[in-house]
Amino acid sequence: MTIDSGFNHITVLLDEAVEALAIQGDGCYVDGTFGRGGHSRLILQHLGPQGRLLGFDKDPQAIATGQALAAEDGRFVIVQRSFAEMGSEIASQGLAGKVNGVLLDLGVSSPQLDDPERGFSFMNDGPLDMRMDPTRGVSAAEFIANAPAEEIARVFKEYGEERFAKRMANAVVARREVKPFERTADLAEVLKVANPAWEKGKNPATRAFQGLRIHVNNELADLEAGLEAALDSLEVGGRLVVISFHSLEDRIVKLFMRKLAKGEADNLPRNLPVRFQAFEPKIKVHGKAQFASEAELKANPRSRSAVMRVAEKLR
Ligand SMILES: C[S@@+](CC[C@H](N)C(=O)[O-])C[C@H]1O[C@@H](n2cnc3c(N)ncnc32)[C@H](O)[C@@H]1O
């Protein structure tokens, strides 16, 4: 596996995210989504000789880049695991409850999207894979080949927010009886024909592809587990910084932070006779959701959907 695949990733909200971590020079930090290390390199610039940075990624190409960085910089360690499992990794390094900041820059990197061989793209034909770690789990082709129509429809609807999920799933199942899906362009074409309402400026397969990608990579369950694990790993005063790229992710982050900052009672109707129970917030939310600046949007159109939220552990 080469480190430089020729596909680059432009880091989103680079300065903003690193500033939000409020880095202490001798602190210990976690980059849960190393990617090509844009955030990690800037974090390392802010760390002194005693500082430490632990990086996670599922993707073998990201790991190869991380290993090269680790060989140059002894303060950095990279681990090929989901950030959902960061708790046990951090504990095994004796750092549980001692981490000063965790960053999650969610979703896929540009190299994953742009390299047709990774199978994420409906624009550029490639093998229908979509796994961040192609050595584990079930590829998109395997899922599409074996899942019942109802399950495929659920994935398109729940994770892709596709209105015509059922119709598109039925079309996929009808076609696979004749010939299995092996390529992204083939699947995109069938989805396109089955989608009766094309949205302006959007490929008609976009939502279904998003749904498949989220399902194949277990993205939402990983995020929920990762947020809990990050909070457990932080020491009091530590920061959690999360960048989301679509509403499903951002909703999970927002509700997680709200629940810990304001308590469950926040969700109850105001007129219910609930007895007052002292709620002690576990985190403090810093500021409002933050978006890319005009300048960043111009330089990197992929930053348009980025939303950053920041919290600090209180107890
Ligand atoms: C948006 S990119 C991060 C880019 C990075 N901040 C940079 O500046 O290069 C997201 C990365 O997170 C990885 N990733 C996504 N979900 C993950 C998970 N649950 N565990 C570990 N890595 C994950 C992807 O493989 C991808 O490399």
- Counting from 1 in the atom list of ligand 1, the atom nearest the Cα of 35 is 27
Residues 154 and 229 in one domain: no
Residues 284 and 265 in one domain: yes
- Counting from 1 in the atom list of ligand 1, the atom nearest the Cα of 82 is 20
Nearest alpha carbon to residue 42 among 60, 26, 23? 23
- Counting from 1 in the atom list of ligand 1, the atom nearest the Cα of 33 is 12
3-state helix, strand, coil in the chain (%, to 5): 45, 15, 35
Residues 232 and 265 in one domain: yes
Residue at 7 is within a domain: no
CATH number of the CATH domain containing 165: 1.10.150.170
Which one of 192, 216, 240 terminates a domain? 216
Residue at 67 is within a domain: yes
Nearest alpha carbon to residue 112 among 5, 1, 259, 248? 5
Q: What is the pTM of this model?
A: 0.94
Q: Ligand 1 test: best mutation among 129, 132, 241, most atoms within 8 Å of CB?
A: 132
**Could you tell me if 17 and 23 are in contact, meaning their C-beta atoms sit under 8 angstroms apart?**
no
Nearest CA to ligand 1 atom 20: 82
List C-alpha distances in Å: 4 to 44, 63, 64, 79: 21, 12, 9, 19
- Decide: 62 in ligand 1 pocket, CB within 6 A: yes
Q: Using one digit for the tens of pLDDT, what is the confidence trace for 251-306?
A: 999 999 999 999 865 556 666 665 556 789 999 999 999 999 999 999 999 999 99
Q: How far apart are CA 39 and CA 11, in angstroms?
A: 7
Q: Ligand 1 test: best mutation among 7, 8, 12, 57, most atoms within 8 Å of CB?
A: 57
List C-alpha distances in Å: 213 to 20, 117, 176: 29, 15, 19
Q: Using one digit for the tens of pLDDT, what is the confidence trace for 93-143?
A: 999 999 999 999 999 999 999 899 999 999 999 999 999 999 999 999 999
Nearest alpha carbon to residue 176 among 196, 146, 207, 153? 146
Q: What's the domain range around 55?
A: 14-110+219-313
What distance in angstroms lies between residue 132's CA and the mean position of ligand 1's atoms?
Answer: 9
- Counting from 1 in the atom list of ligand 1, the atom nearest the Cα of 83 is 20
Q: Using one digit for the tens of pLDDT, what is the confidence trace for 146-162?
A: 999 999 999 999 999 99
Residue at 299 is within a domain: yes
Q: How far apart are CA 226 and CA 243, in angstroms?
A: 13
Six-digit token string for 32: 């849960």
- Arithmetic mean of pLDDT, 24-45: 98
Which one of 191, 216, 241 terminates a domain? 216
Residue at 293 is within a domain: yes
- Decide: 118 in ligand 1 pocket, CB within 6 A: no
What distance in angstroms lies between residue 133's CA and the mean position of ligand 1's atoms?
Answer: 11
